[in-house]
């Protein structure tokens, strides 16, 4: 039952986008928690709910192993089970900790909301972090997403958990809990932001999507097809201000691609040009983004700094190389080398952009530590994620980053979904998953800095600690709502 509750709750994520099922699943999980009497049982319930949640929402994790199924296919089921089961241990620990300090249903559910949100925050930083499929992400495709400008993804998580807890209390325990439930559900809808209008005189950006399946992307027979396809899209009329190619868009290392870049720059016809490429410095390989100036020379380079463990670099590489287990994108035994960190790139009249490459767009913290940009630029190769859930969840998180920062985003993907996203998280124009093509779209103007862009998660984390400690202190006083549970 606990596993089913977690799986039902995960239906709020893309591509299902059914947040009402998230409410029902989370309510079932809380009901199961309230009914338990021991810490051990609470830990099992939390782990089981987490396993169901992660197994469904992260099912795309098997896709990279199916690109070369003969070599890596056997790892696919182990990857899903180990990832879902491992992440579920955090939820199990959170449920167990709450059970240890709970009293009656009101204090228990409120404490669970605080601890559960804290566990999700921990998931975003532990072992380099993996904040994919956060509970709050199920609200991205709802009107409540605008709250992320103030409270971020973790705030959405806490708000949803509190609303569900109040609904459960109102239905089963305390009728008065219906009032805060209605406030949590209804108040955000009373102050909805106005729809943003894009000035047609804004700079025009061309998004290039070659649609190169991963199993063909580096095949010598297909490389010219994908390259010429991008070149043709770049050459198309009318002229634009900027052309953007996706991650690792050219088939040669950047330092050996002078001729290709000159050819692409000529096709761009004077427009600015940004493209993804691999490059090397001595023994080090980098996953990079290059800005090409009007003369055809590379004017700026950004190296991806937040790499994917076991995908772009191998922890304990010497050990795993002995058993033939190398990262999907690794160019050498150790994989890519991380860049120095977030950095702005100057795009001339279009202002300064903050570049993000693929996985980096999942982390709100990767958008901090630099001056405020004029817009966000994300290039990616989502062919690794298959065609079902991964690319759509990745797009949803990109939309969330725009809302959090109040900034437009240019998102260009190899196989899709490429999109222009406005500062409210609305997709203005896109190229569907699995289609080759291009779109010319005006770059929206940024909004003023949001509260979240100034503060990050700091205020929310302080609130979690304060409320959790207060609730624990209540347990040490009288047990008004009932006897303390057994350990």
Catalytic (active-site) positions: 247, 304, 358
Residue 269 to residue 276: CA distance in whole angstroms: 19
90 contacts 96 by C-beta, under 8 angstroms:
no
Q: How far is it between the farthest Cα atoms of the chain?
A: 77
252 contacts 241 by C-beta, under 8 angstroms:
no
Strand arrangement, sheet containing 409-413: 345-346, 352-357, 375-380, 409-413, 418-421, 427-431
Assigned token pair, 297: 């020379």
Residue 108 to residue 91: CA distance in whole angstroms: 15
Q: Residue 383: which of 124, 64, 158 has the closest Cα?
A: 64
- Give the count of beta carbons closer than 10 Å to the beta carbon of residue 215: 13
Name the β-bridge partners of 302.
289
User: Backbone phi, then psi, for 412, in 5-degree steps?
Assistant: -125, 120
Assigned token pair, 462: 């302080």
Region of residue 313 (left: phi > 0; alpha: psi -120 to 50; beta: else): beta
Q: Which residues of 68-84 are buried (b: 16+ CB within 10 A; e: fewer)?
A: eeeebeeebeebbeebb
Assigned token pair, 476: 């040490």
The angle, 0 to 180 degrees and rounded to 10, between the axes of the packed helices 148-168 and 19-35 is: 50
Question: What are the percentages of helix, strand and coil residues in the chain, rounded to 5?
Answer: 50, 15, 35
Locate tokens 């209390």: which residue?
169
């Amino acid at each position: 039952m606990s596993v089913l509750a977690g799986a039902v709750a995960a239906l709020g994520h893309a591509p299902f986008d059914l947040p009402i099922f998230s409410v029902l699943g989370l309510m079932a999980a809380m009901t199961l928690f309230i009914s338990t009497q021991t810490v051990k049982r609470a830990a099992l319930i939390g782990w089981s709910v987490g396993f169901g949640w992660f197994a469904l929402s992260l099912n795309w994790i098997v896709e990279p192993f199916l690109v070369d199924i003969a070599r890596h296919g056997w790892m696919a089921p182990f990857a899903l089970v180990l990832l879902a089961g491992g992440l579920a241990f955090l939820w199990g620990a959170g449920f167990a900790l709450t059970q240890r300090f709970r009293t009656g249903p009101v204090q228990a559910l409120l404490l669970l909301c605080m601890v559960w949100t804290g566990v999700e925050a921990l998931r975003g930083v532990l072992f380099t972090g993996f904040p994919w499929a956060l509970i709050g992400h199920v609200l991205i495709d709802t009107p409540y997403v605008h709250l992320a400008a103030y409270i971020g993804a973790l705030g959405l998580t806490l708000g949803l958990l509190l609303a569900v807890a109040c609904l459960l209390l109102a239905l089963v325990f305390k009728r008065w809990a219906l009032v805060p439930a209605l406030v949590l559900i209804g108040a955000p809808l009373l102050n909805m932001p106005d729809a943003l209008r894009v000035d047609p005189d804004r700079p025009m950006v061309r998004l290039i999507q070659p649609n190169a399946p991963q199993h063909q992307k580096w095949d010598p027979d297909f490389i010219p097809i994908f390259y010429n396809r991008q070149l043709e899209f770049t050459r198309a009329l009318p002229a634009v201000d900027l052309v953007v190619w996706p991650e690792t868009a050219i088939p040669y290392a950047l330092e050996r691609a002078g001729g290709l870049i000159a050819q692409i720059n000529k096709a761009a016809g004077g427009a600015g040009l940004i493209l993804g490429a691999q490059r090397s410095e001595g023994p080090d390989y980098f996953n990079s983004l290059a800005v090409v100036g009007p003369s055809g020379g590379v004017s700026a380079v950004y190296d991806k700094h937040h790499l994917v463990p076991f995908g772009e670099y191998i922890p304990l590489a010497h050990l795993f190389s002995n058993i033939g287990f190398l990262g999907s994108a690794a160019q050498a035994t150790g994989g890519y080398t991380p860049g120095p960190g977030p950095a702005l790139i100057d795009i001339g009249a279009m202002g300064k952009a903050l570049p993000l490459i693929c996985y980096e767009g999942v982390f709100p913290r990767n958008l901090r530590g630099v001056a405020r940009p004029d817009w966000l630029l994300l290039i990616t190769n989502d062919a690794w994620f298959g065609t079902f859930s991964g690319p759509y969840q990745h797009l949803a998180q990109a939309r969330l980053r725009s809302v959090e920062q109040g900034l437009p985003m240019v998102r260009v993907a190899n196989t899709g979904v490429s999109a222009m996203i406005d500062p409210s998280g609305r997709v203005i124009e896109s190229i569907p998953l699995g289609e080759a093509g291009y779109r010319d779209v005006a770059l929206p103007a940024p909004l003023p800095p949001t509260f979240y862009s100034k503060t990050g998660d700091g205020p929310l984390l302080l609130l979690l600690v304060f409320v959790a400690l207060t609730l624990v202190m209540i347990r040490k006083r009288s047990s008004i709502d009932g006897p303390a549970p057994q350990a």
